[in-house]
Amino acid sequence: MTTVYVPGDAAAVSMGADEVAASFEAAGVSTVRNGSRGMLWLEPLVEVATSEGRVGFGSVGAGDVSELADVVSRRPQDLLDHPKSIGLVAEHPWLVRQQRVSFARVGLVDPTSVSDYEAHGGWAGLRRALGMSPREVVDEVTESGLRGRGGAGFPAGIKWKTVLETEADQKFVACNFDEGDSGTFADRMIVEGDPFTLVEGMTIAAHAVGASEGYVYVRSEYPHAVAALRRAIDTAYTHGFLGRDILGSGLTFDLHVRVGAGAYICGEESSMLDSLEGRRGEVRAKPPIPAVSGLFGRPTAVNNVLTLCAVPMILADGGAAYAALGTGRSRGTQVFQLAGNIRQGGIVELPFGVTLGELVEDYGGGTLSGRPIRAVQVGGPLAAYLPPEQFGLPMDYEAFAEAGAMVGHGGIVVFDDTVDMARMARFAMEFCAAESCGKCTPCRIGSARGVETIDRIIAGHDVAANLVLLDDLCETLTKGSLCAMGGLTPMPVQSALRHWPEDFDRVSTGSTSEGGVDA
Amino acid sequence: MASTSATDRQALVHAIATQHAADRGALMPVLHDVMDEFGHIAREDVVAIAAVLNLSVADVHGVVSFYKDFRTTPPPTHVVALCRAEACQSVGAEALYADTRARASELGDDVEVDEVFCLGNCALGPSGTIDGRLHGRLSPERIEALMAGWGS
């Protein structure tokens, strides 16, 4: 019986994958709901297993299924000639040019099968780690050069070392899976397509830092990921990869899933900890850092999904193998996410050092609208907008920081030439006002004043004076906010001002009923 | 759901809270379960949950009011949530949001159109959920088709 793969990934589902899978089942063809290969413009991307490898079919609709099912069961020799065929998926030029480390199994394996996971290299990292002392595991991660993939880029080994060395009756591992930034979906896709990797990474982390309990904080906007993760955790318990005396090592580790409730700020680690404790997700003042006093006041290793998902491979193949990839102090691979107005959006995993232009133009194929690119935002809503003139920038933490931008989590949102950058600057302030936790004044009040000031600029009221005021306000947010929400909101605003000043040079619309400078 | 009597509801909320009472940071899971059961969290539920978890009513109310997902009034028949974040804006989300709100306003209180910031479907925008189901590449025509028959 031929196996047909129909992604169960939320992006594929949003394009009708569930209906496609149901139609195959109705036609008597059994399906595996795999993860997505990350070629999202081709979703639902159906794959048919053949002796040559898996043959892909792009943008399959439920209406295509009966004919495709017929080819599958009766004329397999015609598969490659089918009008929707994209050939052998593993040889697709978009995938062949990538270096998939974190995403090696995503799309390939059945996310519900623990044996499939094992057959593709799963649990090797955990097995090796359990034979090592916690300190050796921490050293291995330090040697790999792995830095936090959530955006801040803090060295993971150093964070773990702090937790390991802090004495406490109880320690925790917490995974930040509150992937709220627009233009990011890699955390979601790896958990939906290969959830055991996160379970394994967290178990290794628990051994390394001495934690007996772990929490994954998932945003509520990701119901498919929540379901995939809960299923994987249940399966891992059944097979002895979680719980008491894991693989006979003596390690006890319990892993829980907690779901957020629509607050962007809970992606900030201290807000996330408060939310996990059952409270309003308000930012905590630092110090103490969570590695010393985190969840319920105990030492807590807080890591992003992709950071933890890189750990099994680092332990399986050694830190040196991971560190061999990348450039400068940005080691390993980064999972870039091409999003927004882009022809070929999706996942591109490559070592650090690839240029922004290669990603957006070579992989992305330019805009979906076919119009010229005007701006790209790299690293989320709290990061800078860059013009095409900067497409030569290598994707590396330090090179981006020097250019007044940030790589962040590697999410890239493309805009064509119809974008109004003053509007985007206004949106950055509006978003901050909507999502601020309200604890500190610059963020809570400053963002609301920012919206008003940009409104006056857009209306052409006393533009020069309001630009000075906006600049002053941005400085207050940058320097006076408690966390990155208020602290980085000026990034998109000021980068828009720097690169597209013409969009802020508005002629008065003639209305005199409001505006003017109060200060 | 709506036919649950006040006493039954109170008993059920009490049972949900009791079931989680021994968990660390039990409040969020309790509130999610009450939402799943009743579609909203009523004032009486807040009082009952506070009693079981040994929290003040103000603490529980503070958490309910902080998170957008927790509603305090029963949901309408249909909920549309459209993404207004940057990636979806780059492919026309703002116009789609305005258009959908205008369309829904003609259907009365039965339909609610909310904004959401990112559904993680940023390469296939504009994205949105319609009665909880995720859709990519939404257009006014597609939304019109999905809303067909509503409010009649």
pLDDT single digits (tens) A415-434: 999 999 999 999 999 999 99
- CB < 8 Å from B in window 405-424 of A: 411, 413-416, 419, 424
Window from A12-16, A399-403, B53-57 with minimum mean pLDDT: A399-403
The pair of three-digit structure tokens given for residue A288, joined into one six-digit string: 């103490």
In whole angstroms, how large is the CA radius of gyration of chain B? 18
Window from A249-258, A275-284, A331-340 with minimum mean pLDDT: A331-340
Q: How many CB atoms lie within 10 A of CB A153?
A: 20
From A10, A296, A419, residue closest to B120, measured CB to CB? A10
Please tell me the distance in Å from B6's CA to the nearest CA on chain A: 26
* Predicted local confidence at residue B93, as pLDDT: 98
Contact call for residues A141 and A312 (beta carbons, < 8 A): no
Q: Which residue has the higher pLDDT, A150 or A249?
A: A249
* Predicted local confidence at residue A510, as pLDDT: 52
Q: If you count DSSP H runs as helices and E runs as strands, how many of each does chain A have, helices first?
A: 21, 16
Q: What is the pLDDT of residues A441-470, one digit of tens each?
A: 999 999 999 999 999 999 999 999 999 999
Please tell me the distance in Å from A176's CA to the nearest CA on chain B: 15
pLDDT at B60 over 90: yes
- Separation CA A364–CA A345 (nearest Å): 6
* Predicted local confidence at residue A516, as pLDDT: 42
pLDDT at A372 over 80: yes
The CA dihedral of A112, B20, A302, A355, to the nearest 10 degrees, is 50
* Predicted local confidence at residue A72, as pLDDT: 87
pLDDT confidence bin for B5, thresholds 50/70/90: confident
From B63, B86, B136, residue closest to A377, measured CB to CB? B86
Contact call for residues A424 and B86 (beta carbons, < 8 A): yes
Q: What is the pLDDT of residues B66-110, one digit of tens each?
A: 999 999 999 999 999 999 999 999 999 999 999 999 999 999 889
Q: What is the mean pLDDT of chain A?
A: 95
Please tell me the distance in Å from B149's CA to the nearest CA on chain A: 21
- Separation CA A444–CA A434 (nearest Å): 9
CB of B125 within 8 Å of a chain A CB? The answer is yes
CB of B122 within 8 Å of a chain A CB? The answer is yes
Please tell me the distance in Å from A269's CA to the nearest CA on chain B: 16
Q: What is the pLDDT of residues A158-174, one digit of tens each?
A: 999 999 999 999 999 99
**CA A439, chain centre distance (Å):** 26
From B28, B70, B90, residue closest to A419, measured CB to CB? B90
Q: What is the pLDDT of residues A500-518, one digit of tens each?
A: 999 999 886 654 444 444 4
Mean pLDDT on A259-275: 97
pLDDT at B133 over 60: yes
Report the alpha-carbon angle A90-A95-A99, nearest 5: 110
* Predicted local confidence at residue A327, as pLDDT: 77
Query: Percent of chain B beyond pLDDT 90?
Result: 92
- Separation CA A356–CA A345 (nearest Å): 14
Q: What is the pLDDT of residues B10-19, one digit of tens each?
A: 999 999 999 9
* Predicted local confidence at residue B3, as pLDDT: 61
| Residue B87 to residue A222, Cβ atoms within 8 A | no
